[in-house]
Chains A and B, each alone.
Chain A
């Protein structure tokens, strides 16, 4: 059994790499200090909190661990070393992650040392399935590889809009892929899960929007692969991202998990938009996150047909009324109790009702939601620049787009399933992000999600001129992640191992 209080304290410090800085002499410490060791009593009350969450470090020295301690054995062999920040003012221990160790490898440490690294929020080590999942950001990747270092600069907003909309967004998928049946799918590293992807996506949305995290009043985390049956993961995401005004060790933010198969996130877009529009809510920004380590049974088991399509990733959208990049023109949602995909409590993998999957599940709901919204807003197909549909595979979104009358140039830019697989709650949001990455001002986007069980949410969005201004703040675009030279392709056995996690 692990100790929950120890877990709470370690992850509180370790998830963001919280430290202290003496405002008298400038000495820095990892962990919170009440006073500076060098300045003594006069430094009481003069210690300033710092954290290394958005910082860039340097790998000073390292070694190969091929006989880890018990809780790390699932990582195989890995690189462990000493990382310095702020020109050596703080040094911490750390392991390199996102690296599949090979038994026979000879590592040239000097090729790794002195390089810049970025802290990554990951699972810490393996524990009993009954225990709280331990996390930490003493895991690092090289800044000159897949995951670049990006500064988080808070930008004062300069324009307030009449209607709410998207203020910023972030997409995160891992650097591992499996290539099968003409599609590529993202595969989590062994220390990643739905929680870590939500944090990464949220981090990038904050970087992209320039929004001060303390002004975020609500966060929704939608997922169908929550590693807990009972316990919110939104609480972890809120704490790691330091959302809401911090008071003692608590965040002044409302955090809630949502679940509705693949529309757990899109369903909340309207709630977030409504919340920031309600003057008495005192909430300036709300974040909606869709995150999944999409689940599927092994290929030869019941439900195993999904194993050919599942991906991994997270998306985060920040809604507000200031410095909006895409205004919400309207929405329509519909629901019916159609059992086409489910997982009973205690079962490890979802089942898939073959009878309903296309029609009357996917096609019927998307068709209804799209047509109703277009009718309400009096939109013609030609009024829409981009059409985004839920993407469980390549065929379905293409078929529904054609049926609704959309042309290739309208629906192809959003079609990302062949690059990442079905990222479930993040599926249509990744498609939307791909479009927002390239859209010009004053273009209309129609996004229609689908969640099994079943329902669809349709939104009409209109881009603003600010979409172009904010674009340069984000290096981790959808295209960047899809076409990155540092992608690593794994075989089926490795894919299953990685997906299963620590």
Chain B
């Protein structure tokens, strides 16, 4: 890829409930952290790309660019999109085109301010027809799991293993989050707890299978290659990125057992980056549910279709901080994933980039993965809706 965009600094808030803070305060906090890290002033910014999924609905706050302008006293071009990844792709395009040299990419969400109506909003925005038919934000995950089990003919002992594997995904992500000071849930859970929550709900997936509702903000400072040196000596490059789209209505899609968008975006991103799949060591998956983490392993090409549960199950028999797939080590959701780190929609992708950035630079502190070889490549998958959009970013140190 020509004229690679460079991430020079990242910043974020803790995810969770921030009932005492205005949304602007959260984005301010995230931006300040990144700017301190890069030792950068506001006036260096040539453009801002902000994302929020539904701040105008949750906080009756429109024209977010105006708030950001007031906050920063900047009058540069600013644009708002719905996911961090879409904001980032706009920023990357601009930098690659040579239009800007320094841009701020920020993500913000304040979901708990509309606690009583948030699931209706989530579902209605995900797909109105499904909402009208009585769908909930959780139901599509359960249907995808049913379709998966049926398609791959998983039953008996294997079905039990699959259910355990999904529980292990949640347990593993909670374990990772204990070392993440920003995570919403910094506590361990057990497979029994996950299973009991399912039993209580009388369903295949329970409370611990789903990512929570969160507030939070994230930001990164993106520059062109030549400018990056001024701000950091440890640049992380965006080597390749791509996105894909699919139908809004999940039931209308051809295959209910995976996300076409993830598969397509990953293939293109790898090609653009010129990186082989198995050169990637660190992955941030979009685990809105444990099922999503499972199918995403397949969609990105790491596990074979219908086999990811087995890879997870076997890796978690004696979990060492990574999934062992194909005799290779894959570090997945080292920050705790959406499940434990939190999922403030518009900011979530920023936390995923944050994590891979820290890991690749060896700055992840307690969370730093112990890879047998030098960490070179990481990958981030972010989805919008229930697999209606998918973004993949390939990040690297060289």
Docked-complex contact A82 and B132, CB < 8 angstroms: no
The 0/1 profile, CB within 8 Å of A marked 1, for residues 128-143 of chain B is 1111111110110011
Contact partner of A109 among B130, B146, B201, B252, CB < 8 A? Answer: B146
Q: Does A32 contact B (CB under 8 A)?
A: no
Query: Which of A62-70, A200-208, A467-475 forms contacts with chain B?
Result: A62-70
Docked-complex contact A93 and B129, CB < 8 angstroms: yes
The 0/1 profile, CB within 8 Å of B marked 1, for residues 86-121 of chain A is 000011111100000000111101000100000000
Q: Does B119 contact A (CB under 8 A)?
A: yes
Q: Does B123 contact A (CB under 8 A)?
A: yes
Docked-complex contact A66 and B203, CB < 8 angstroms: yes
Contact partner of A92 among B116, B131, B134, B252, CB < 8 A? Answer: B252
Give chain A interface residues in 432-458, CB to chain B under 8 Å. none
A61 to B141 CA separation, bound complex (whole angstroms):
12
Contact partner of B256 among A61, A63, A104, A113, CB < 8 A? Answer: A61
Minimum C-beta distance from A28 to chain B (A): 10
Minimum C-beta distance from B152 to chain A (A): 13
The 0/1 profile, CB within 8 Å of A marked 1, for residues 141-175 of chain B is 01100110010000000000000000000000000
CB-CB under 8 A from B120, the residues of chain A are: 69-71
**Contact residues on A (Cβ < 8 Å of other chain), bracket:** 35 or more
A139 to B204 CA separation, bound complex (whole angstroms):
23
Q: Does B188 contact A (CB under 8 A)?
A: no
Q: Does A215 contact B (CB under 8 A)?
A: no
Q: Would you call the interface of chain B mostly helix, strand, loop, or mixed?
A: helix
Query: Which of A73-81, A268-276, A329-337, A407-415 forms contacts with chain B?
Result: A73-81
CB-CB under 8 A from B143, the residues of chain A are: 61-63, 81-82
Minimum C-beta distance from A84 to chain B (A): 8
Q: Does B315 contact A (CB under 8 A)?
A: no
Contact partner of A63 among B123, B203, B251, CB < 8 A? Answer: B203
Docked-complex contact A92 and B135, CB < 8 angstroms: no
CB-CB under 8 A from B202, the residues of chain A are: 64, 66, 104-107
Docked-complex contact B130 and A93, CB < 8 angstroms: yes
Docked-complex contact A91 and B252, CB < 8 angstroms: yes
Minimum C-beta distance from B322 to chain A (A): 32
A66 to B201 CA separation, bound complex (whole angstroms):
8
The 0/1 profile, CB within 8 Å of A marked 1, for residues 185-215 of chain B is 0000000000000000111100000000000
Contact partner of B150 among A61, A72, A75, A106, CB < 8 A? Answer: A61
A197 to B362 CA separation, bound complex (whole angstroms):
67
Q: Does B249 contact A (CB under 8 A)?
A: yes
Docked-complex contact A93 and B249, CB < 8 angstroms: yes
Docked-complex contact A136 and B251, CB < 8 angstroms: no
Given that A62-B146, A82-B143 are contacting pairs, would A95 and B133 also be in contact in the complex, using a CB cutoff of 8 Å?
A: yes
Minimum C-beta distance from A123 to chain B (A): 11
A106 to B204 CA separation, bound complex (whole angstroms):
11
CB-CB under 8 A from B134, the residues of chain A are: 65, 68-69, 72, 75, 78, 80, 93-95, 125, 138
Docked-complex contact A93 and B251, CB < 8 angstroms: yes
CB-CB under 8 A from B139, the residues of chain A are: 63, 65, 80
Residues of A at the B interface (CB closer than 8 Å) are: 10, 14, 30, 60-72, 75, 78, 80-83, 90-95, 104-107, 109, 113, 124-125, 134, 136, 138-139
5 A-B contact pairs sorted by A residue (CB < 8 Å): A10-B128, A14-B132, A30-B252, A95-B133, A104-B202
Residues of B at the A interface (CB closer than 8 Å) are: 116-117, 119-120, 123, 127-136, 138-139, 142-143, 146-147, 150, 201-204, 249-252, 256
| Seed contacts A80-B134, A92-B251; 13 additional CB < 8 Å A-B pairs | A10-B128, A30-B249, A61-B146, A66-B202, A66-B203, A67-B138, A70-B117, A72-B134, A80-B133, A90-B252, A92-B252, A93-B129, A113-B150
